[in-house]
Amino acid sequence: MAARLEHRLYLSESTPHTLRDGCALAVRRGLSSVVALPGDVPAVGLHLAGTSVGLVTIPGWSKGGDVEPLTPRELIAESRRLAAEGANEVGVLATVGRLRADGWRRLADDTSVLVEAMRACGVRVRVVLDTDGLTAAETVAVCERLGATGAWLLQGGSWAGRRTGLSCIQLMRAVLPAGTRLKWTFPVRSLDSMMICVAEGVDLFNGDPASLLTEAERRITASPLVVPLRGVDY
């Protein structure tokens, strides 16, 4: 379960103390990755050096939460700089506004170019897709194109709008290639919800690692954790 969780270091004020403690938690509990602002990558990279915990960031991301639009050349240059500072995964943000202004094909083309450029650096690429405001047909079209770019993971869901339902998770998983990982943006709040999403094909989650793992440890003292059958009416 720990290997399915990412620790969001950007939620609290970035100080040497909070960054150190956040990385220590991720390493101690065996989390998949930490997610950090670009400005914090050098410090976080030092804390995670030599560990199995990944370091994820988004080029152009600022403390206010906005992501600066970058040209493909700027995106590659910034990604290479972040990789040199310790990031081993970079994200491309895909909002409804960008999708409708620039088009799905351009986003897919830019992502494909970035994937190829980062492969030489040993850095993976994910696409962070804000599904809030997308119709089911638009979600299918976007996921089909993004699934063919070589991006290792597609992160779906909404971080600013309404909570996206299980049906959207199921739709994305059905469209994405089997080898493309899926992460859900909205923080999972209970172990039961997490297990249901695992059954539906979600690979990585946001959430409170300490509380979720404490609950998992409590439960396994009585019986093993069991993922429910996929497609069951919950």
Mean pLDDT of the chain: 90
Q: Residue 159 in contact with residue 187, Cβ under 8 Å? A: no
CA max distance for the chain = 54
| pLDDT above 90 coverage of the chain, percent | 70
Per-residue pLDDT at 101 exceeds 80: no
- pLDDT digit string, tens, across residues 12-56: 888 999 999 999 999 999 999 999 999 999 999 999 999 999 999
Report the pLDDT value the prediction gives residue 132, as an integer from 0 to 100. Answer: 84
Report the pLDDT value the prediction gives residue 102, as an integer from 0 to 100. Answer: 67
Q: Looking at 124-231, which runs of residues are DSSP E strands?
A: 124-129, 153-156, 181-188, 204-207
Per-residue pLDDT at 196 exceeds 70: yes
- pLDDT digit string, tens, across residues 159-175: 665 656 788 889 999 99
60: left (phi over 0), alpha (psi -120 to 50) or beta: left
Report the pLDDT value the prediction gives residue 234, as an integer from 0 to 100. Answer: 46
Torsion over CA: 9, 13, 15, 20 (sign)? negative
Torsion over CA: 179, 151, 125, 210 (sign)? negative
Spatial neighbors of 162 by CB under 8 A, at least 6 apart, are 132
Report the pLDDT value the prediction gives residue 94, as an integer from 0 to 100. Answer: 85
Token pair listed for 4: 């399915």
Give this prediction's pTM. Answer: 0.91
